[in-house]
Structure 1
Amino acid sequence: MHIGVLEDDPSQCELLLALLEDGQHTARGFGFAETFRDGIQRETFDLLLVDWNLPDGTGGEVIEWVRANVGWHLPVVVVTAEEEEQTVVDALKAGADDYIVKPPKPLELLARVNSALRRSRPNALEILRVGDYEVDIQRERLSVSGTPVTMTQKEFDLAVLLFQSIGKILSRDHLLDKVWGRSADVDTRTVDTHVSRLRRKLSLDGSRGWKLSPVYGFGYRFDRISN
């Protein structure tokens, strides 16, 4: 999974990134709340780790911004040296899903991160197998008949959403919100462009028994077709 880390201490940030990568996650670090908010709007993260005391704000303010602008589906874990009970309460009230006191214990950190990810995706399978397609959600890999497909992060995120929604009609606005976030500076034409690329890269034209079709004036539907 891809994780965003907000930590103003460079050595602490480097440690957290290393621990997450040891746990087979990818991660990106930010030192300021402002750049963190910008990053969230430009990049899709599966979970956020947030320090409490920051040069340009507090962890509570950041979490409240995430809940107001991104939503409640994105897990947020506070990682801080603050041990006071009131700070823990404030973090949870702001919308944090968990709270870890520094220095983090490597195995505990990964266990809590993975637990938060599972809670946020209770119905998600780590590997989806649909016909010739295999989607490894944890490792962010998609293959067709055993051959890996090169994809951008957004293309993969969009593919996962489609493969988890077989037979459902999905609006362009829904796809935009889930993959890019409601605050992203893009429009539904971006969705159309990515859908077109996926259809081509994955042969979702019916030739492999699966078809990604437009629903006029609304969005798309991903279905199995009869030969």
Structure 2
Amino acid sequence: MARITVIDDQRSNLLTMQMCLEAAGHQVRCFQTSQAFVDGFDPEGTDLVVFDFNLDDCTAFELLERTWKRYAGLAMPCVLIWSGNGDSVKDALVGQTNDVVETPPTDFVRHTVCPEDVLTKGVSLDDIYAAIARALQRGPATAC
């Protein structure tokens, strides 16, 4: 199974995701803050990252960009989970502006996160597992 890193600033969401992914046979590493993620992220030991979109101090787009810069162009599949309207994030990924996503994604982010892998909180476990499977099958930095 996959080695998955999860970042979510809500501890209960983080623990639930960890429990569910481990029950599905994945190895899971969790971070609750963006700084802890940047400091502790192991690109060699990670196959995929699941991001909560809105963290306390940044968005998943911003954190992806910081991680990419720190790890010299790292490419890795990602799944984003959004507490608001997932269509706003999907629209931003395909270049449409909106009032919900204040920081537009860079080209790097657009080629790392596919709109179909942006999920809205409350989504079923089956949908989460399907998004993870799609992202893992597609591999890193594949244009969607």
Q: Considering only aligned residues, what root-mean-square deviation do their CA atoms show, in Å?
A: 2.2
Aligned equivalents of 2:92 and 2:126: distance in 1? 26
Aligned equivalents of 1:115 and 1:42: distance in 2? 19
What is the aligned partner in structure 2 of residue 14 from structure 1? Answer: 15
TM-score with structure 1 setting the length = 0.48
Q: How many residues align?
A: 121
AA of the residue aligned to 2:46: F
AA of the residue aligned to 2:24: G
AA of the residue aligned to 1:45: T
| CA deviation after TM superposition for structure 1 residue 66, in Å | 3.0
Aligned equivalents of 1:115 and 1:84: distance in 2? 18
What is the aligned partner in structure 2 of residue 3 from structure 1? Answer: 4
SS of equivalent to 1:103: coil
Greater Rg over alpha carbons, structure: 1
SS of equivalent to 2:45: coil
Counterparts of residues 79-98 of structure 1 (less than 5 Å): 79-83=81-85, 85-90=87-92, 93-94=105-106, 95=109, 96-97=113-114, 98=117
Q: CA-to-partner distance for each residue in 1:118-173, whole Å, 9 max, x for gaps?
A: 1107xxxxxxxxxxxxxxxxxxxxxxxxxxxxxxxxxxxxxxxxxxxxxxxxxxxx
What is the aligned partner in structure 2 of residue 104 from structure 1? Answer: 123
Aligned equivalents of 1:104 and 1:85: distance in 2? 14
What is the aligned partner in structure 2 of residue 74 from structure 1? Answer: 76
SS of equivalent to 2:61: helix
- Which one has a larger percent strand, Structure 1 or Structure 2? 1
Counterparts of residues 1-227 of structure 1 (less than 5 Å): 1-41=2-42, 44-70=45-71, 71=73, 73-83=75-85, 85-90=87-92, 93-94=105-106, 95=109, 96-97=113-114, 98-120=117-139
Structure with the greater relative contact order (CA < 8 A, sep ≥ 6): 1 or 2?
A: 2
Residue identity (%) = 26
Aligned equivalents of 1:20 and 1:11: distance in 2? 14
What is the aligned partner in structure 2 of residue 139 from structure 1? Answer: none
Q: What are structure 1's unaligned runs of at least 5 residues? A: 122-227
| CA deviation after TM superposition for structure 1 residue 88, in Å | 2.5
Alpha-carbon contact 1:63-1:76 (below 8 Å) kept: no
Alpha-carbon contact 2:79-2:118 (below 8 Å) kept: yes
Alpha-carbon contact 1:34-1:56 (below 8 Å) kept: no
AA of the residue aligned to 1:117: L
TM-score with structure 2 setting the length = 0.73
SS of equivalent to 1:86: helix
- In 2 relative to 1, CA 107–7 (structure 1 residues): closer, same or farther, beyond 3 Å? same
Alpha-carbon contact 1:6-1:32 (below 8 Å) kept: yes
Q: What are structure 2's unaligned runs of at least 5 residues? A: 95-104
- In 2 relative to 1, CA 91–36 (structure 1 residues): closer, same or farther, beyond 3 Å? farther
| CA deviation after TM superposition for structure 1 residue 72, in Å | 5.4
AA of the residue aligned to 1:103: G
